[in-house]
Amino acid sequence: MAIDIHWIRDNDSLGQFCAQWQQLPFVALDTEFMRVDTFYPIAGLLQIGDGERAFLIDPLTIDNWQPLAQLLENPAVVKVLHACSEDLEVLLRLTGSLPAPLFDTQLAAAYLNLGFSMGYSRLVSEVLGIDLPKGETRSDWLQRPLSETQISYAAEDAVHLAEVFVRLRPKLSDDKYAWVLEDGAELVANLRREVDPYEVYREAKLAWKLSRAQLAVLRELCAWREHEARARDLPRNRIVREHSLWPLARTQPDNLGALAKIEDMHPRTVRQDGEFLLGLIKQAGSVPPDQWPPAVPEPLPVEAAALVKRLRALGQVEAERLNIAPELMLRKKTLEALLKSGFPEGPYQLPDSLRGWRRELMGQALLDCLATAGEQP
């Protein structure tokens, strides 16, 4: 069956259609973008499905995104997306707004125990019995005109995404539907949280092996790298490669020759920013001890693995009771943060990352499990 495709290429048309979509219970939303040599994604196409038609919005010819921003923020219209973390970045960059409420069909599939982290094509095949072509996922969405296959691919995405929502929604209990929206709101909240460039060093590889004095250098390097990636609109590794950060902070080179010998150091970085980096390292290396950052906690020891396994098993039992994908229950990072709060003797504290229904359902059970862990033979 041929898809009814409508192009939106100017501000007035976008405003008119957004006014119509404001009256709908939901819209399906997808984006195509390019992100090869940039920090920020570049929007190539936006697709909206209303349950019957596909609307293709050309971001290269539109500059007033206020009507779409209002639609995204309208609490009466559910926004349906799939595995949408990068789509959210595109929308925020383009419109300054994020979708609420957000229904992620990948999450919904997991709550229905169809599978965890399901790709879109597999979900469409599972729910609708339709095999989608895969040829256009990595094509150039900034070229004009778009090819017929690109247009068809994009339109199918919008139409089938709406159909998937219509099929999945009635199968979700009220609780599970609320959880899907809660997780969607969490995705949005995570993107809205501004990452402090001066906290990025805590996630750097091997940061825990550095002294506090060396961490002061790593902190400045990571913050500068983050600032520059955004300012130059380049991937972080084009500023300084990830694997160079730790040896830079540990050895603190004081000349270009030594800088060039740092592991995985790109010659371009030495040429463009070498002198600045040397100055930054020297300055950061001379800050007084009262300005050193706190030590980064070591990874959990091998002995903690058995406890992680016990906690995950607790989540697995609860997931089976609820008939949801077990991976939804307790994320590994959350369990590790819980253990780090008190290992090996306790007391333990629930981490901030355990939120919402998971905290209500699992929080006390996890603490009880840890409290009795030492009593096990």
Coil, strand, or helix at residue 31? strand
> Which one from 153, 177, 201, 348 is the annotated catalytic residue?
153
Cα–Cα distance for residue pair 227/39, rounded to 1 Å: 11
Concerning whether 32 is annotated as a catalytic residue, the answer is: yes
Name the residue with tokens 């943060």: 337
Cα–Cα distance for residue pair 99/258, rounded to 1 Å: 48
Sheet with 26-34, edge to edge strand ranges: 5-8, 54-57, 42-49, 26-34, 78-81, 102-104
> Which one from 50, 157, 183, 228 is the annotated catalytic residue?
157
Closest CA to 311 of 291, 332, 295, 280: 332
Cα–Cα distance for residue pair 25/352, rounded to 1 Å: 33
> Which one from 30, 58, 89, 228 is the annotated catalytic residue?
30
Distances (CA, A) of 202 to 32, 215, 238: 32, 9, 20
DSSP 34: E
Closest CA to 50 of 158, 168, 132: 158
Q: β-strands 26-34, 78-81: how paired?
A: parallel
> Which one from 50, 58, 87, 89 is the annotated catalytic residue?
87
Question: In degrees, to the nearest 5, what angle opens at C-alpha 55 toward C-alphas 51 and 58?
Answer: 155
**48 sits in which H/E element:** strand 42-49
- Here the tokens at position 280 are 């930054």
Concerning whether 153 is annotated as a catalytic residue, the answer is: yes
Concerning whether 10 is annotated as a catalytic residue, the answer is: no
**15 sits in which H/E element:** helix 11-21
Q: Which positions are annotated as active-site residues? A: 30, 32, 87, 153, 157
